[in-house]
Chains A and B, each alone.
Chain A
Amino acid sequence: HVRYRMEASCLELALEGERLCKAGDCRAGVSFFEAAVQVGTEDLKTLSAIYSQLGNAYFYLHEYTKALEYHHHDLTLARTIGDQLGEAKASGNLGNTLKILGNYEEAIVCCQRHLDISRDLSDKVGEARALYNLGNVYHSKGKSVACAGTHDPGEFPEDVKAALRKAADYYEENLTIVTELGDRAAQGRAYGNLGNTHYLLGNFRSAVIAHEQRLLIAKEFGDRAAERRAYSNLGNAYIFLGEFETAAEYYKKTLQLARQLTDRAVEAQACYSLGNTYTLLQDYEKAIDYHLKHLAIAEELNDRIGEGRACWSLGNAYTALGNHDQALHYAEKHLDISREVGDKTGELTAKLNLSDLQMVLGLSFSTNNSMTENHIPDNGLNGTRPRAGRRHSMENMELMKLTPEKVQDWN
């Protein structure tokens, strides 16, 4: 009788946890699941479901160490009771969690296990999901190395490219199955991540094709968050195709949706992208307009790194317009923020920019005199635009790197 009451209580608590998680309140759901574990049950399949849901709840709460712990318990239990489908699911969840924690090799093993069992069980849905997860692990693995360096997309070392190519292969395999299954939502996800993988590989045309598909599916579902993601990714790809006007149009759509969805951080990001795009289009007034909007939101959100970036960009744009007083103001702000956030690179850049500007303005130079002698000559691309030394030369270098001829080599 006591055991019966205990089992019932465990189940009740777990059901309430499930209800709360489904309603989006993972924090409260976790409390009920943990209470259910405390009460305990002899039904190991119920316990496995509780562990799995606890793992997922912690995953959504970004508490990945806890998520790892519970998915591991679930895996052990599923194996113990010989529940193959349960083992496949636990392996997949463990793999996703290990990926977030940066443990890519173990993540691959787990996701591969998910794939193998799904194939053994002729579970097509499971197989497709495992392929998507494997694609994600290889994408993250490639990106983790790629983003640590200072390379442009398409210019990564061979091991990074190998991981990214594997990711693309898994997404393609996944797409074949989910297309057969007619699962449009899954197709949307695969196209989005495939597009981003092509982007990193420097296959910008293929990236555009994939993101256009993603956009189409997002519109079918009326999924505005996914639609916004697709616009943003399309903008990024068009930048590297050297088609800045098209990129600007997509970033504007991103901005519009970000405002509709009242996501201030995303709105700031879109403004920043637009500022950069108009810099590439050499329309510095518009660039300043968007960078100022970005700066205002960064200040509002107390995003000091974003503020520093905005000041740096504004300094560049004002320099390009020959407004050296404003440029100096933002270079000084950039220096202060770089020091505050401990950004050594930013600090050095800001100092160099300040020294240039102070010289242009004929101010006395106090921080590092040895650097003022080294004014780099204009490389000729500036035309009639004002000369402002290093910073400007750098900007032209970036523009040269992005001419369509160069981009053609990448594709």
Chain B
Amino acid sequence: SSSNQQVTELQTKVVPSKQILHSDNMEMEPETMETKSVTEYFSKLHMGSAVYSCTTKRKSK
């Protein structure tokens, strides 16, 4: 009967196979964020001045 078909179609639509199987989550890998660091910048600055003082000392000799 047509009502029978209707129910069949309805059921097919409302119960996708997703509901049976795809609840198994896909497990993604983490994102990678780019990092900036004050410490790094600070130590570079510090190193820069150290290098500078060494070369000036050498030059002055």
A contact residues vs B (CB 8 Å cutoff): 11, 14-15, 18, 45-46, 48-50, 52-53, 56, 59, 74, 86, 88-90, 92-93, 96, 114, 129, 132-133, 136, 139, 143, 150, 152, 186, 188-190, 192-193, 196, 199-200, 226, 228-230, 232-233, 235-236, 239, 269, 272-273, 276, 279, 309, 312, 345, 348-349, 352, 370-371, 373-374, 376, 390, 394-395, 397-398, 401-402
**Alpha-carbon separation in the docked complex, A129 to B18 (Å):** 33
Residues in B with CB closer than 8 Å to A150 are: 13, 16, 18
Interface string of B20-32 (1 = CB under 8 A from A): 1111111111111
Chain A contacts of B18 at CB under 8 A? 150, 152
Q: Which residue of B lies closest to A211 (CB)?
A: B27
Judging by beta carbons under 8 Å apart, are B23 and A309 in contact?
yes
3 smallest A-B Cβ distances: which pairs?
A89-B34, A150-B16, A229-B27
> Count of B residues near A, CB < 8 Å?
37
Please indicate which of the listed interface residues B10, B21, B24, B38 has the most CB atoms of chain A within 10 Å of its own CB: B38
How many angstroms from the CA of A230 to the CA of B7 in the assembled complex?
40
Closest to A46 in B: B38
Q: Is the CB of B41 within 8 A of A236?
A: no
Provide the bound-state CA to CA distance between A132 and B30, in Å: 11
Residues of B within 8 A of A199 (CB): 26
B21 contacts A239, C-beta separation under 8 Å: yes
Which B residues touch A401, using CB under 8 A? 17
Known: A49-B36, A232-B24, A309-B23; 8 extra A-B contacts, CB below 8 A, are A45-B41, A56-B35, A96-B31, A186-B32, A192-B28, A239-B21, A273-B24, A376-B7
